[in-house]
Amino acid sequence: MKHVLRIVIALIFIASGFVKAVDVVGFSFKLEEYFSPSVFNMPFFESQALVIAIFVVVLELVLGLMLLLRIRLKFTLSALIAVCIFFAFLTFYSAYFNKVTDCGCFGDALKFTPWQSFTKDLILLIGLILLWFLYRNQFQMLQPKNPSKYVALSLFSIIMGFVIAHGIIHEPLIDFRDYKIGTDLNAEKSKIEKDPSEYKTFYSLKNSKTGEVLEVNQDDYVNDKKYWEEGSPWKIEDGKTTSKIVKEGYSSEISKFKPESSEGMDLTEEILKSPKAVLVFSYQPDHADKNVLAATEAKLKSEKDALILGISTNPNTFKTINNATMDATAIKTIARSNPFVLTLQNGKIVDKMSTNDYLKN
C-alpha cells in the first residue's frame, strides 16, 4: 500500500504542476492576488510573480517525478512536506479570511473552493508524513544512483521547460479557460441568463433579553413577525448583514465580458452580433510595447468588414482604432499576452494569439 500511496501522491503533484506549467502566466496572476495590498501586502513581489510562479511549478513537477521514481527519497519527501505546509498556510488563510476565492492549485482545469483546497493540502500533508515513516528504514537502501531514472528526470524537465516557454511566449499549449477557441459567447451568455446563481441576505439577530444570537435569511425574517414586531427583543446587529449564495447557477468567466465605450455604453451586444470582430486587449497598457501596439493597429487596417476595437483599462491606449475599457482581471482571463488579439465570428471565438504572433501571420 505504501507504493500505491507514493504513486498517487506523486501523480497529484505532477498533474498540479503540469496544469500550472501549461499556463504559468495565469498562475503568476494568481500569485499577484496573494501579494496584493488586500491580502499579504507584499507589492514588491508582484513584479516578480512570473519568476516565482516558474520556480514553484518546476519545484512541484521535479519533486513529483522524483517521488514517483524514488530518487533521493529522504530529500524529496522533506521538500514536499515543506511545500505542502506552505500551500496549506496559503489556502487556510484564503479560506478563513475569504481573501482569494480560487487558489489556482490546478489552474483553470479544476476549480476548488478555498476550504476544498485547504482540505486537499491537509490530506496530501498527512499522506507525505505517512510515507516518511513507511520509508524511513529504506532511505539508505534507496540511495544508489540509477542512471536511467536521472535520464528520465532530465528529459521530463526539458519537455516541461518547452511547455512553460510556449505558454509565456505565445499562449497556453492546452487552453483550460472558458475563452478557448470554438467557444460561442452568445450561447454561454444565454446559459448564464437562464440559470443564474441565487443570493439571499442573512441577518445577524441578537436577543436583547437573553443575549442569544441567530443568523436568519431574509425570507424567514419577513415571514416570522417575532423578529420584527413592535417590542420584539430581536435586533439586527450593525455591520453583520451578509449576502450568501443559496443556489449555484451556471458559472462562466464569460459573465465578466462587458467592454464599455468611453461614454460608458455597453458594447457587448454589438461585438457578439458582428459577423466578424477583431479585438485587441491590453491588461497593462502602460507596460505594453508601444511599437508593437502601433504595428498591430496598422495591420488591423487590412481586416475587411470587421468591427475593430481596442480594449484595455485606459480609454486612450489605442491611437487609430476605437477604444473600449474593461476590468483588468476580466481581460487577464481572456488574454495571457499583453497585448493580445481575439477574433470572433458572430460571437464565436475563431482565433486568439499574442500580438507578436498576429504580426507574423
250 touches 163 (CB < 8 A):
no
281 touches 328 (CB < 8 A):
no
Same domain, 165 and 265: no
Interval 117-161: pLDDT, tens: 889 999 999 999 999 998 887 776 555 567 888 899 999 999 999
pTM for the predicted model, two decimal places: 0.81
Annotate 127-169 with three-state secondary structure.
Answer: HHHHHHHHHCCCCCCCCCCCHHHHHHHHHHHHHHHHHHHHHHH
Work out the percent of the chain whose per-residue pLDDT is above 90.
58
Q: Given 126, 151, 169, which residue is the final one in a domain? A: 169
258 touches 268 (CB < 8 A):
yes
- Whether 177 maps to a domain, the answer reads no
Residue identified by cell 505594453 is: 288
Same domain, 7 and 109: yes
Same domain, 224 and 280: no
Residue identified by cell 504580426 is: 359
Q: Could you give the C-alpha distances from 187 to 12, 41, 266, 289, in angstroms and in order? A: 34, 39, 18, 34
CATH code: domain of residue 319: 3.40.30.10
User: For 298, how many CA atoms within 13 A lie in the half-sphere containing its CB?
Assistant: 7
Same domain, 271 and 235: no
- Whether 206 maps to a domain, the answer reads yes
258 touches 333 (CB < 8 A):
no
Same domain, 307 and 277: yes
In the structure grid, which three cell numbers stand for residue 361, read together?
A: 501571420
Residue 182 has pLDDT above 60, yes or no: yes
Q: What is the DSSP letter of 101?
A: S
Same domain, 114 and 224: no
Q: How far apart are CA 60 and CA 9, in angstroms?
A: 12
- Whether 81 maps to a domain, the answer reads yes
- Whether 119 maps to a domain, the answer reads yes
Q: Which of 104, 253, 115 is nearest to 179 (CA)?
A: 253
Same domain, 123 and 6: yes
Same domain, 120 and 268: no
What pLDDT sits at residue 153?
92
Same domain, 211 and 345: no
What pLDDT sits at residue 30?
86
The percent helix, strand, coil of the chain (3-state, each to 5) is 50, 15, 35
Q: Given 212, 232, 247, which residue is the final one in a domain? A: 247
- Whether 193 maps to a domain, the answer reads no
Same domain, 129 and 23: yes
Q: How far apart are CA 294 and CA 275, in angstroms?
A: 25
Flag the least confident range among 10-24, 39-53, 55-69, 200-214: 39-53
- Considering its fold, how many domains does the chain have in total? 3
Mean pLDDT score, 58-78: 92
70 touches 139 (CB < 8 A):
no
261 touches 255 (CB < 8 A):
no
In the structure grid, which three cell numbers stand for residue 195, read together?
A: 440559470
Q: How far apart are CA 358 and CA 127, in angstroms?
A: 47
Backbone angles phi, psi at 102, to 5 degrees: -140, 120
Q: Given 217, 247, 277, which residue is the final one in a domain? A: 247
Q: Could you give the C-alpha distances from 208 to 212, 235, 236, 240, in angstroms and in order? A: 8, 7, 10, 16
Same domain, 132 and 233: no
- Whether 216 maps to a domain, the answer reads yes
Same domain, 101 and 18: yes
Contacts for 296 with CB less than 8 Å, ≥ 6 apart: 280, 339, 341, 355, 358, 359
- Whether 185 maps to a domain, the answer reads no
What pLDDT sits at residue 55?
95
Residue 114 has pLDDT above 60, yes or no: yes
Domain holding 210, by residue range, is: 198-247
- Whether 182 maps to a domain, the answer reads no
Q: How far apart are CA 289 and CA 310, in angstroms?
A: 15
248 touches 316 (CB < 8 A):
no
